[in-house]
Structure 1
Amino acid sequence: MNERIPLLALREVSRYFGAVEALVDVDLEVHAHEVVALVGDNGAGKSTLAKVIAGVLAPSTGQVEIGGEPVSVSSPSVANHLGVASVFQDLAVCENLDVTANVFLGQELRSRGGMLHDGEMETETRRLLDHLTVRIPSVRTPLRHLSAGQRQAVAIARTLIGSPRIVVLDEPTAALSVAQTAEVLTHIERLRELGLGVILISHNLNDVRAVADRVEVLRHGRNNGSFPGSEPHETILAAITGAI
């Protein structure tokens, strides 16, 4: 694929809830091997934009393109088919199930007779965790025995089932310790190394600066600045608050 063609592009995307303008003419591009941070104050439209990309919400107006082609992301399953995977804050994991069962949740490998391919799923789970450099004692460990950071890593590993091109991460380091945050940021960098385009939604500008190639600011549902990941916090904060 031509590297100049973005994996994902949003062209003048708007989303209305009645008279409320959640997104107004938003543009966004994400390329392969790129982490794009999406930042903004509460109510800026970040989560709404993530849900549009993930197929949870349809845009009221505007166009979504994947690989340069206009698409209709009408549902999460369509988004997955198009190569878009998402991890939202609730993680949607099952604490009573083990790591392998969570990675393949809803996408289990089965024989024609309906029997589960446990061995294949275990092997693939180990491979995905190794790709992300995730340290977990066993893929048969129930999630309730894992740390919050390890659970986040399992949710990120699950996105790699089906070989996506774009991964959306909604506040992946929220409520994590410093050590757990560092591990998750390493996993995000690994996604970039694997050639994916990553959209990182975060309130933590230190995390953003640590991994983002580019920072896109939303304010009141509109684009309000695009900056390199190395941009000083003060400039980004000014865009978030409307000072620039």
Structure 2
Amino acid sequence: MKQIVVAELRKLLSLPVALLAIGLGTVGPAGIAALTTGRLRDELDAGTAYNSAADSVFQLVLPGSVAAIVLGVVLVSSEYTTNSSDAGGGRQITTSLLAVPNRIRLLVGKALALAIVSVVAATVALVAVLAVTSALLGPHSLLTNGLDGAELGRVVGGLVYWTLSALMGFGITWVTRSGIVPLIVLVINSTFVSVTFLLSKLTSLAHYFPDLAGLRMITRDTGTGVAPVTGGLVMALWTAGILLVCGSVFARRDA
């Protein structure tokens, strides 16, 4: 399994789109923090701030997690992209299955490689955001005042949210064999128009969709009744279910 994971890590990190996603996902949140934190400090000094210093950090997990979704999608969609005629016109999945005939082992190896990259990228992104906000917020920063247990929990929640988002994109792409559908559904829902958020205005059950439940790990109390740990477990169960369906489909159908 170690050799499979290493091979998949090399494959993922050789994809230009993956490298671009990692770059934007790690640097982008820090850039947003640099643009918005100055105003927040003025508001904190005046006692008129709506967001706390902690919120200014952890609310940037969501735009950064889009990069994780892209990583999960491109890791799979690249397997089903037809090569140029000069390269034989085949697909990478054929070569991958020749190297690792056991489909479940291949799937697990890819998922582990994706999880490793997601955790590392999320860690870099959070550290960068903490560094930027600490420099700009001064005495109001999290690092100046120290991270308490709740804030450390939000750090862990951010890492988990990134990783599970990547794995959901990964699983859905295996089922569809195309990156278009998961990118449209997951990225747009996470950034532009959150269908699940709109549904939450109609029924409280919508808070148990994976994206809204997972956000409880990193956002402050929203009065939804879903605790951070519960939200994480709900998102993890959704992810596990998607991966089980993905494994079942991949094991049974032709490559």
- TM-score tier, shorter chain, comes to under 0.3
Find the structure with the greater CA-based Rg: 2
Output the TM-score relative to the length of structure 2: 0.25
Name the structure, 1 or 2, with higher relative contact order (CA <8 Å, separation 6+): 1
Output the TM-score relative to the length of structure 1: 0.25
| Bigger strand fraction | 1
